[in-house]
Structure 1
Amino acid sequence: MRYFNFLIVLFSFSSTFAQRNCEAYKYNRDTLKYEACKKAMEIKGYYQFSREYQSVLDESIEIDPTFDYAYWAKSIAYLKSGDFVTWKKLIDKAVELNPKEYLGYRGWCRYQFFRDYKGAIKDIEKLDSLVDYDIGQSQNGTYHLNIAKGLCFKAIGEKGKAIAILEKQINQNEEENIVGAYDYLHLGVLYLETENYEKAVEIFIKQSEINELAENQYYLAMTYLKIDNPVGYKSCLQKAKELYIEGRKMSDPYSNPLDKIFLEDIENEIKMAYNNS
């Protein structure tokens, strides 16, 4: 089993240019969008926060105010700089013009940056209703959008629904021999939180097989604690600490992933384990 964890940096500059094939507009005889697209591609080489970058995209929009890509590309700098009001106006315009292209992106941003779980669910479900193909991955490549939707349901307290969504998507991923880097971990934590300890142990072991993490061993330890396995509990805590120090832990350059733990969490639990023995 190989795991799926595209090495895509969120909002990387290179991704900005890969979104549009201007020749497609020319082929379809949409000369206005072709010209707007050609203009937009001139952002290559400019820093996203530069006046030149924004000016090029403004010119693209002047050529064709319905060219969705230009609004999306403009929005990136505002999101990264923390100007969320301007970002929202721009990304909303991109979604209005091309919902199939940008609903998933906006939904992911709502989840990752704003913890707007209900808004993220709404966007992902709307996208799913519009297309007859796989809705795809999160912008950073870590999750299938359905996994992200399941995590949103967990965050708003609907854990049963979250489990059902994750189980279904993971089964589909397994059939394709592609599983997300953290998929089993999140499902295992849900089993732990809903007191399904046998399944939790089973799924944490699967996570170990594809992508061992400090978080995985920590939550496995907590499961062993619940089922009165003190040897497994202490052993997994020690392994969790080793993995954390080695850097084998959940990470994201922009926010803390759901179910992430920290070294302090592990060390505090180790102290409790040995103080109570």
Structure 2
Amino acid sequence: MLENPRSPRVRAVAKLTKRSARQETGLFLLEGPQAAREALTHRPDTLVELFATPSALERHADVRDAAQDAGVDVVFTTEAVIEAMADTVTPQGIVAVARQSPTSVKDVFAAGPRLIAICEEVRDPGNLGTIIRAADAAGANAVILTGRTVDLYNPKVVRATTGSLFHVPVAVGADLETTASRARAAGLQVVAADVGGEDFLSHRALLSRPTAWLFGNEARGLDEEALAHADLALRLPIYGGAESLNLATAASVCLYESAFAQRADA
């Protein structure tokens, strides 16, 4: 059993909360039974280490069984060790280390996607993770992050995806101009979600076409340079007294509207 919270092995895992350590090692941190379960089920090849307290593994027997099926050894630890490794204040007794495995923009479009999300300068980890989760739920084929977007492997992003990180391909560090050009070459229209755009409902029929949704910064939205790469900009209507919609909420609506329209036309 791993018992010393100050051991080099524990400190190496704890360092993965920092971007510099993630960049240096190509690894990232997973916390909790849900993340471990999804990784073991969908991408066991990416798992490097799996740590758990005996009581946590007893509570989550499905994680134990999935680890056995995947041939991944579990390292038992004390609660203090898990607390030293984790990014959360109240960890759930299971922590894993996985290899970063982003896809490439080239591979995204080679697969013939019909619905993707492009995130340009999305800075809030919770928003990005929720957008990835929504894209997964809406059946999107991929998510593409430009170089100005928060790190995909930030622990808060990973937690907010609730495992969708292992379901949907995600490309990182992309150039927006190149991405938009590749989208058009692959037969997708690029539609920006923007408060200064045209009325959403008047263009709803267009959403049955293959679409790359473009989402911008939480505070500033999309600047003129970014909007120039879109074929169309649409704004969601506000029927009540709310000043605006949270970015992740707006992205969820847009992605689902496309999913509904595309399936109605299928």
Q: Under TM normalisation by the shorter chain, which class is it?
A: under 0.3
Which of 1 and 2 has greater Rg? Answer: 1
Query: TM-score, normalization: structure 2?
Result: 0.26
Q: Which has the higher contact order (CA 8 A, sep 6+)?
A: 2
Relative to total residues, which structure has the larger helix share, 1 or 2?
1
Query: TM-score, normalization: structure 1?
Result: 0.25
